[in-house]
Amino acid sequence: MTSSDENFLLLLNLMSEAETEALGRRIAGVLKRGDTIALSGGLGAGKTLLARSIIRHFLPREEVPSPTFTLVQTYEAPAFRISHVDLYRVKDKSEIRELGLDEAMDEGVVLIEWPNRMGELLPRDRLDISFELEDDATERLAKVVARGSWVPRIEKLK
């Protein structure tokens, strides 16, 4: 295994919406221009809630609707642009290429719901978060995997 393949894993039990929002604030606290965060999990798992809490850390008054239909919503935070992407409705990679995510990733931060739609277009340097619903309606298991530049930051997400 080379150092570029190094992964670091964090398992978090998020017992309530408030705990998911608190994770979003911890992520926001270490966010840098050029970061990508991939948010996986089924419908209603909490991907949009987490993205919203990250965006509101920088822009508290923003509404942050789900980008299900617009595919991309952009926000001008003071330090960088944040692109919130939802690929659920995307059918093929050519549609993804038209979204201009390369540029969004260079100049800002990109939060992606349904990142598996991107296949190899997904950058290797990223934070992966996948949510699983537990039996309790408000409990979520979040599996957080840090890759590349995220590895030294994962301690701050605990």
CB of 93 to ligand ADP, least distance (A): 22
Per DSSP, which regions of 67-158 are E strands?
Answer: 72-76, 81-86, 108-113, 127-133, 140-147
Nearer to Mg ion, 8 or 66 (CB): 66
Decide: is 48 part of the binding site for ligand ADP (CB under 6 A). yes
Task: With contacts defined by CB under 6 A, name the span among 29-37, 47-55, 91-99, 104-112 that binds ligand ADP.
Answer: 47-55
**Rg value, the chain, Cα:** 15
CB of 48 to ligand ADP, least distance (A): 3
Burial class (CB in 10 A: 0-12, 13-18, 19+), 129: buried
Decide: is 73 part of the binding site for ligand ADP (CB under 6 A). no
Picked from Mg ion, ligand ADP, none, the partner binding residue 46 (CB below 5 to 8 A depending on kind) is ligand ADP
To the nearest 10°, report the CA torsion of 93, 35, 23, 77: -100
Nearer to ligand ADP, 41 or 108 (CB): 41
Nearer to ligand ADP, 31 or 111 (CB): 111
Q: Strands 81-86, 72-76: parallel, antiparallel or unpaired by DSSP?
A: antiparallel
Picked from Mg ion, ligand ADP, none, the partner binding residue 67 (CB below 5 to 8 A depending on kind) is none
Asked whether the beta carbons of 15 and 138 are under 8 A apart, the reply is: yes
